[in-house]
Amino acid sequence: MTETKIYVGLNDSETRRQEFETEKYASILKTVCRSYHVSFSFALVQGGYIHEDGEFTQENSLVLSLIDADPTVVEAISRDLCAFFNQESVLITESQVKAYFINEKL
């Protein structure tokens, strides 16, 4: 199985600061995923990066995790989130994972 992660920063690409509360971004992310009918999970992480002009920025990011999602859907979700969050770009990573469910009842 393939695990795809989409990293979406929350700082606006023009102002270079977070314009809204994190919960608003999370709500948008959930709405986008529901509209594409994909199962998902996400986490809030903190990180930093260097802009092309050399300026260092720290920011909150949402990391969306999808298991065995269709690559065209991954790209569509990524494009939507990039536009909705006003980002220069979003990062997509793919890894092969062993995934399985355990069902147990008492």
Average pLDDT over residues 14-40: 96
Q: What pLDDT does residue 20 have? A: 97
pLDDT, tens digit, 9 for 90 and up, residues 39-69: 999 999 999 888 888 889 899 999 999 999 9
Rounded distance, CA 20 to CA 12, Å? 10
Q: Is residue 69 part of a domain?
A: yes
Question: CA-based diameter of the chain, in Å?
Answer: 59
Report the number of distinct structural domains present in the chain. 1
The 3-state DSSP class for residue 6 equals: strand
Q: What pLDDT does residue 49 have? A: 84
Q: Is residue 53 part of a domain?
A: yes
Whichever domain contains 68, its CATH number is 3.30.70.120
Q: Is residue 19 part of a domain?
A: yes
Q: Is residue 35 part of a domain?
A: yes
Average pLDDT over residues 24-40: 97
